[in-house]
Amino acid sequence: GVTAPEVNYQAGSSPLVDEPMYQSTNPKAPKMTQAEFDRARQIYFERCAGCHGVLRKGATGKPLTPDITIGKGTDYLKVFITYGSPAGMPNWGTSGDLTPAEVDMMARYVQQDPPIPPEFGMAAMKATWKVIVPPDQRPKKKMNNYNITNIFSTTLRDAGQIALIDGDSKQIISVIKTGYAVHISRMSASGRYLFVTGRDAKVNMIDLWMEHPDTVAEVRTGLEARSVESSKFKGYEDKYVISGTYWPPQFVIMNGDTLEPLKIVSTRGMVVGTQEYHPEPRVASIVASHFKPEFIVNVKETGKTLMVDYSDLNALKTIEIGSAPFLHDGGLDSTKRYFMVAANNSNKISVIDLKDDKLAAIVDVGKTPHPGRGANFIHPKFGPVWSTGDLGDEFISLIGTDPIKHKQYAFKVVETLKGQGGGALFIKSHPKSKHLYSDTPLNPDPKLSQSVAVYDIDNLEKGYTVLPIAEWADIKDDGAKRVVQPEFNKAGDEVWFSVWSAKNKESAIVVVDDKTLKLKAVIKDPRLITPTGHFNVNNTQHDVY
């Protein structure tokens, strides 16, 4: 059968695959040779850890600790791994991904005690920390002729690089080496520094004022990560940077000039609701508040949002708001007062009030919501709304976000749009645009994964127009060609999409004219290897989406 988009999304390889790990053997578990154990551990971190967790305590996937697995036994586990389950476990055997011998090995492996990756504290971070250009040797003003507010930082996922692309000329300014399998880019409040995190938790700080923008500082904050953000409250612009890690489960606040790690906080603790201990609550999205000197840190497995007050790092105050598991991605509403975060396993959006530091609402949406940062626009009937698509179904939920002038609609799903299909990851609009764009890169049907749906905001009842983005890219190579992540330019009159092919195949960036919905430009270059996310400097700096 076809594996659900949710599972494909999470079954990616973890950088922990290469880490040495402490291993104990469980005398009650079936025998394995050291070579089998090492190979099985590698397969586990390549395919299984994303859903079942590093310590196999379970997340989207079931817990797989020896107290459970030994009771099931090797034969039962082999059937499960071979055929999968309707609950979302892929059919690793019948799909041909694992050989019968590998299935047998994995069934024995998950009955052993989980090997534990090392911790990563201050000494480890300091050992990786490099200031390449110290603050006093950096330019005092912008030294290049680029319109840096309209630069795009494009993730070149499998190359471990980002491309800086001039949004005006569509030329690649430079390709900069970053961490392994880069995940996101974020901007400092001033618009000068770009921060990029790799999955291997390497953070690069890039100075856009240099004649040739490049890395001025770097550090590793852990062994696996997905998020980075910079302080944005008045008086604290460019002062701190925060990195959130999957392993170890923690976040670190760093000096905004040099990336010197200053304060590390563990996120291990109790799960909301059950109040049972979780040893591995991964840090997902982080956003900087515009209302207070706070970072909003979303912890996946515990279902908690931490509002971390950075005004005094020695007397760190944190407000903990429990909502629902597993908190993943999200974005601000148009006033920046509310943070809307997907509790993806609960099919909910939690609304966090950044002014009053409280939970404003929990909103039921479709199956496995995945907003990216979501999209804000003015609905002709319901006023300001924020929207999300779903990985698990074809719907888009519009949620009212104005408790003052549109109180009756606030934090309710006011309208549900039908999209192209499941497997949606990102949705986008812009204050200057009359359109809402939704991608479906993880839909199993190539027609849908290679195109996007566009809605006319003033005529939502008309349904969507399909833009055949991958076709427009005119890529001769065969293969996936997933169309991913709409992102506007600064002016809000162009939308950029990645056409994400395999590492050894041609990829492209397609630019669409937002007014006419016609093709405006195709950017192709041998250096554009596996482009996925792209981040416009102005829109990222000011949280415009």
The sheet with strand 452-456 has its strands ordered as 427-428, 435-439, 452-456, 464-467
Per CB under 6 A, the list member of 111, 227, 243, 489 interacting with ligand DHE is 227
Please, which residue, 69 or 389, has the CB nearer to ligand DHE? 389
**538 touches ligand DHE by CB under 6 A:** no
Report d(CA 296, CA 314) in Å as an integer: 18
Q: How far apart are CA 353 and CA 361, in angstroms?
A: 9
From residue 291 to residue 330, what is the string marking binding to ligand DHE with x (rule CB under 6 A)? Answer: -------------------------------------xx-
DSSP label at residue 459: G
Between the CA of residue 339 and those of 351, 352, 357, 375, 451, what are the distances in Å?
Answer: 6, 5, 11, 12, 29
Residue 73 phi/psi, 5-degree rounding, is 85, 160
Query: Does the protein bind ligand DHE through residue 286 (CB under 6 A)?
Result: yes
- The candidate with the shortest Cα–Cα distance to 489, out of 528, 427, 531, 431, is 431
Residue 366 token pair = 């479709």
Angle at 329 between CA 167 and CA 506, to 5 degrees: 45
- Smallest distance from ligand DHE to CB 280, Å: 13
Residue 450 interacts with ligand DHE (CB under 6 A)?
A: no
Active site members: 48, 51-52, 89, 328, 370
Closer CB to ligand DHE, 271 or 410, in the complex: 271
Of 31-70, which residues contact ligand DHE (CB under 6 A)? 50
Q: Indicate the DSSP class of residue 390.
A: B
Regarding 149 and contact with ligand DHE (CB under 6 A), the answer is no
Positions in 164-203 near ligand DHE (CB under 6 A): 183-184
Amino acid identity of residue 332, one-letter, is L
CB of 179 closer than 8 Å to CB of 160:
yes
Verify binding: residue 528, ligand DHE, rule CB under 6 A: no
Q: Which stretch binds ligand DHE (CB under 6 A): 25-33, 254-262, 280-288, 501-509?
A: 280-288
The answer to whether 157 contacts ligand DHE (rule: CB under 6 A) is yes
Q: Does 533 bind ligand DHE (CB under 6 A)?
A: yes
**Which residue in the shown chain puts its C-beta closest to ligand DHE?**
533
Segment interacting with ligand DHE (CB under 6 A) among 4-12, 210-218, 307-315, 348-356: 4-12
Token pair, residue 499, equals: 């056409």
100-109 and 74-83 are packed helices; what angle lies between their axes, rounded to 10 degrees? 130
**Nearest approach, Cβ of 12 to ligand DHE (angstroms)?**
3
Stretch that binds ligand DHE, among 9-17, 141-149, 262-270, 314-322 (CB under 6 A): 9-17
The pair phi, psi for residue 417, each rounded to 5°, is -95, 145
Q: Could you tell me the two tokens for 1?
A: 């059968």
Does residue 481 interact with ligand DHE by CB under 6 A? no
Residues of this chain that interact with ligand DHE (CB under 6 A) are: 9-10, 12, 50, 155, 157, 183-184, 226-227, 284-286, 328-329, 372-373, 425, 484-485, 532-533
